[in-house]
Amino acid sequence: MTNNGYNRNYNRNYKSSNYNGKNRKRRNKKRIRNRIIIVSSMVIILVLIILLLTLIFRSCFGNEEQTSATIPTATIAPATEASKSSSKTNTHGTTTDNVSDITSTTEFLTPKPEDNNKNAFLDEGLLIWNNTAFELFYGSEDSATSYADSINSYADSLGPSIKVYNMVVPNHTEMGLPDRLKNGDDYSSTSQAENIKTIYSKFNSNVTPVNCYNNLAKHCNEYIYFNTDHHWTGLGSYYAYEAFAETTNQEVLSLSDCTEKKIEGFTGSFTNMVNTDLGTDTVSYWEFPYTATMDMTSDSEGELDSYDSVYYQGETGGSNAYGVFIYGDNPLSVLKSDRKTGKKIAVVKESYGNAFVPYLTYNYDEVHVIDFRHWTGNLPQYCRENGIDEVLFINGIMSANTPLQIRAMNSLF
């Protein structure tokens, strides 16, 4: 009886233990399976978040370049004072540097903006001085080299039959802030002159640099940048156009032969980014003494629509007034002139190029304007199909030092 009772108890306990063991195995398998499902789901969600953030950043950069390049700060080296060896007279009757000075990669003028000795302060990451917002720059030699390498590769892809130019545009911080304010106790801004020098010095023989820096420096106390926005003005872009025309040995359009139009009340991209009241800006554009029209598409795959002006003359004040230039950011615009020069050029640009390209209608019958952030075509093929043998890449200093922007340009090839 005792043994039988023991056996029964043993068998019962063994079966219970065996049952519990199997239960534990099933639970462990279920737990592992659940963990695999959870981890897999988290990986999928993380991938979706990365894709979403990529689209958001691409959209932000596609709209405007409103953030500083996220590149470590480089060692700051002062720009050197250029020594002029010779000069020539342009169509304004004013003296300009000769072509060798304009394309110099070593001699940059030092901007000397007027200084009222007022203090500056940071407001939401922007430096505020004289009721003007300045975007600090944090580019590096590595980012400059990366950009130069990319432009060199584009020139190689376009081939020897196409002349390639590149222009990097400094921002307002470089031209509008006194040296004493460019490096404060709580902030610093990398030398844009040194950054551009690095870029230009690394171009191969297939790329011609266009030094608009010196022309902007000579006019730094004029209204060449907006106070409430990260772009340059129509006047600032004109001085860059002068540098391009002189670099390429072409006649320079004179603004005195044009009719200035103004849009008051521009509240630019910085207006809602800071707590400081920056007031408003005036947007000026110039109508030409010849006919300049434009074909444009707002859809990269769509048909071109025709417009009788390269300016959106219905534009009014407010946050979108910079859109007067070539109707804003569109994938492809073709500006046409009745000047009968027999020449065509393609301009690969971001929004800094909008205010610049209208002036090129003085020198080219067709100016094919490609916004690399939105256009999905193949640039070498497009140039072949349209008989284009000159290409200008124009980028603001922020874009030139932003990897995301460089990747967007790479897609053109």
Q: What is the mean pLDDT of residues 147-165?
A: 98
Cα 174 to Cα 401: distance, rounded to the nearest angstrom: 15
The domain tally of the chain equals 2
**Is the pLDDT assigned to residue 73 strictly greater than 60?**
no
Residues 310 and 321 in one domain: yes
Higher pLDDT, 17 or 268: 268
Q: What are phi and psi of 154, to 5 degrees?
A: -65, -45
Q: Which of these ranges, 45-49, 79-83, 274-278, has the smallest mean pLDDT?
A: 79-83
Q: What is the mean pLDDT of residues 52-65?
A: 48
Most distant CA pair in the chain, distance: 127
Residues 112 and 24 in one domain: no
Cα 399 to Cα 303: distance, rounded to the nearest angstrom: 28
Residues 124 and 13 in one domain: no
Torsion of the alpha carbons at 101, 103, 106 and 111, rounded to the nearest 10: 70
As beta bridge partners, residue 390 has 163
**Is the pLDDT assigned to residue 130 strictly greater than 90?**
yes
The whole-number pLDDT of residue 186 equals 85
The whole-number pLDDT of residue 299 equals 86
Over the stretch 252-310, which tens digit does the pLDDT of each residue have?
A: 999 999 999 999 999 999 999 999 999 999 999 999 999 999 999 988 778 899 999 99
Residues 39 and 94 in one domain: no
Residues 262 and 371 in one domain: yes
Tokens of 119: 């203090």
Residues 124 and 219 in one domain: yes
Pairing of strands 126-129, 121-123: antiparallel
Residues 12 and 73 in one domain: no
Residues 300 and 363 in one domain: yes
The whole-number pLDDT of residue 26 equals 55
Query: In the chain, what is the straight-line distance between the N-terminal and C-terminal CA atoms, in Å?
Result: 91
Please name which of 313, 243, 244 lies closest in space to residue 285, comparing C-alpha atoms.
313
* CA distances (Å), origin 41, targets 48, 49, 260: 11, 12, 59
Over the stretch 354-366, which tens digit does the pLDDT of each residue have?
A: 999 999 999 999 9
Q: Are 349 and 395 in contact (CB under 8 A)?
A: yes
Sign of CA dihedral 300, 305, 310, 311: negative
Q: Are 68 and 399 in contact (CB under 8 A)?
A: no
Domain boundary among 32, 63, 94: 63
**Is the pLDDT assigned to residue 58 strictly greater than 50?**
no
Q: How far is CA 206 from its chain centroid?
A: 22
Residues 28 and 117 in one domain: no
Domain boundary among 37, 63, 89: 63
DSSP conformation class of 98? -
Residues 36 and 106 in one domain: no
Over the stretch 306-326, which tens digit does the pLDDT of each residue have?
A: 999 999 999 999 999 999 999
Residues 184 and 312 in one domain: yes
Residues 310 and 405 in one domain: yes
Q: Are 361 and 336 in contact (CB under 8 A)?
A: yes
Domain boundary among 36, 63, 90: 63
Backbone torsion region of residue 122, taken as left when φ is above 0, otherwise alpha when ψ lies between -120 and 50, otherwise beta: beta
Question: Percentage of the chain surpassing pLDDT 70?
Answer: 75
Q: What is the mean pLDDT of residues 196-223?
A: 98
Tokens of 306: 């025709």
pLDDT band per the 50, 70, 90 thresholds, residue 61:
very low
The whole-number pLDDT of residue 47 equals 60
Q: Residue 121 sits in which domain range?
A: 66-410
Q: Are 132 and 227 in contact (CB under 8 A)?
A: yes
